[in-house]
Structure 1
Amino acid sequence: MSPANRGLIGLGVGLAAAGAATAAGIAAGRVSKERHARLSVLAPAGAYAHTPDRELVVVADDGVPLHVEIDEPEPSAAAGPGEPADKPTVVFSHGFCLSLESWVLQRKALVRNGYRVVTWDQRGHGRSGRGSEASCDIDQLGRDLSRVIEETTPSGQLVLIGHSMGGMTMMALAGEHPELVRDRVVATAFVATSAGGAQLVSLGFGQYFGKLVGRFGPGVLDRLSARPGLVRTALRAGRDIEEFLVERWSFASPVPPAAVRLTGDMIFGTPLDVMADFLPTFDRHDKRHALVHFHGVEVLVLNGVHDVLTPPDHSEEIVRLVPGAEHVVIEEAGHIIMLEHPEVLNEQFEALIDRGMRAAAEGVKVARKPRVRRTVTDLAKRRKVARARRGEGRA
């Protein structure tokens, strides 16, 4: 494509963004007052704050430093009657344009219930190093996860949980290290992710426009990253606009403003050129062949009904290719389910781990289980939101 045509596309994107920003600003103004005045009671002060027991740097095989945090189980959460004394370590991998902070509510819950938890920032995200453009690749992320496990949990049972790009990372790990999954992993959760073979970079705009985003998006983001002043000017249009856009692509039900702020900080804290470097790997992503290595492992697939980035049909291939996998679809949920419906995810993860530990201890043939698909409605959250909207002082 000629530079002139690229310029026209860039101009069109800019004009569209300006129009969207104007419309978003109007809509944001309408919702902001209600959210800040009432929905703040959905999250108590400090709900998203967390101090890990240990922080460390794990060096990837190409020299990139990866930020890792470890939470040790609370001493009071000793194993109860009939529970194994040594519970598995839970390793969380976050999604594209997020960070390990996205798992804050899950790691707190698991630590309270006696689990050791490992979280890490994928390269180019959060506090991890960046690496080269060529290293922004799902296979490299799988190797990074392998190094994290090697350094933090060289032995013992594991539970792997990944959201979006994090789930793809786990598939890449299994493809290169099938023995690790076979010998040590007792349970796995794939949250809002895809095994590939589908148009991934659509951003909720549909297949045709999604292809344009996948083709031209990296170039647009690269040019924007070279003009940080322009980006800052756009963001100065107001935080309400930013938060409105975050809610549009992240959530499908009311959430406290602190959750929107946390999500926005993670997304807009990801460098634009890192976003550009990663976009091509999603269109190349196809790890369906790696799913065979999860046969015999307790597998849970989780989706939000209204996820515009990776809707439930993107995950159905995982369920089809892994015998015994369970598929749970959450009503009124978008892409960032772990912050939108944390209690539901915490319950699902606890049940998954219990099933996995029991299957491992009793030699249960997981692959012989019938496939299960369930739709879950977060009734407890509905009640909280209703009370908040009535102006009651408690969530």
Structure 2
Amino acid sequence: MYRLLKHGKHPAKRFRLLVVDDQPMNIQVLYQIFSEDHDVFMATSGEQALAFCQETPPDLILLDVLMPDLSGIEVCRRLKANPLTADIPLIFVTGQSNPEEEAIGLSAGGVDFISKPVNATVVRARVQTHLMLKFQAERIEEANRTLEARVAERTEELQQAMDHVVQQEKMASLGSLVAGITHELHTPLSNMRLVSASLLDRVEQLADDLSAGKISRSTLDGFITYCRESSALIERASERSYSLIESFKQVSVDQSSDRRCEFDLLDIVSHTVSTLRPMLKTTSHSVDIDIPAGIIIDSFPGPLEQIITNLITNSIAHAFPDREGGTMHICARHTDHHFTVSFEDNGVGISDDIKLRIFDPFFTTKAGRGGSGIGMYTVYNLVTSLYGGTIEIDGRLGQGARITAKFPISERKSQ
């Protein structure tokens, strides 16, 4: 039966040692060597050793090779096959000097061989070495676990931060659309207000003339003509306002949600460009669309509109710093399994070093001048993560830039 051999009175840093030998005298020798510094347990057979390790695994095992029930080699193999005891360093203690036996023991999982009769200095040094190796390995493993936990925590925090920034970018984009639409609506709404006010004045004047009995045929004809012209002006202004509101409503709803539906690719791109017309009017730049009609996509329209918006605003901000009359071109083509959207501008182009970093989060060439560094990262993230597609950029300094996104999304043509 195994038992704890009484140790000395120095409990500083004590490891648990298990000495396994069928000869009590050999156990006593090892106890005398280690008991002052460590907790020393004993077992007089292989079965006892296996039972002890299963219940309370020690830090190190000193194991006799030749024992009557189970040999030390077999005990070693069983310990190494058990995940609970596989990492316990095991030193064989043998009275025979046999290279073949040592090779078998080391291949079975032993870490060292010590010959009997043991030399106290040698066995103490070897045991101390393997205990320190085990201790350091455990500290490294614990440090790795702590580091992995911290990395996972920081990664989650960073992802949450990035999601928040991306959401802010989307809201900022919608804010720009709101500002643009508001500015654009001001003209037709002001015209309607002026015309309706003027028309009301004419109606009041006609009512006064009617009360005074001063209505002539020419006065009535003039009033009818004015009503027709005013109605036409109000109708045109209202149609313009309705068109702007519908475009904005479509884009804003899509961009603020991730709903999946069927949509016409040309309609989505046209709506998006239409909402950006107020911003484009403040520049001399233009956007051309080359997309065949009737391509019906079953996917997410909102993120696609966000992609188009970011590409256009990025070009306006970076491609034409000292140039008027820049042109942006949006082209789309499709096959049975995917569609490709290509965005190209004839601006200043892009250098190789910027090309390598353009999709990195927070990278911008206009730091401190209004650049957030998140627009193109949002494009990359939507194309690759949401759609599972690919995106690449091509261009040289002075030769414009082309960004091509390939979307592996199921689609069908309308009949």
Same fold? TM cut 0.5: no
Q: Point out the structure with max Rg over C-alpha.
A: 2
TM-score (norm 2): 0.29
Higher relative contact order (CA 8 A, sep 6+): 1
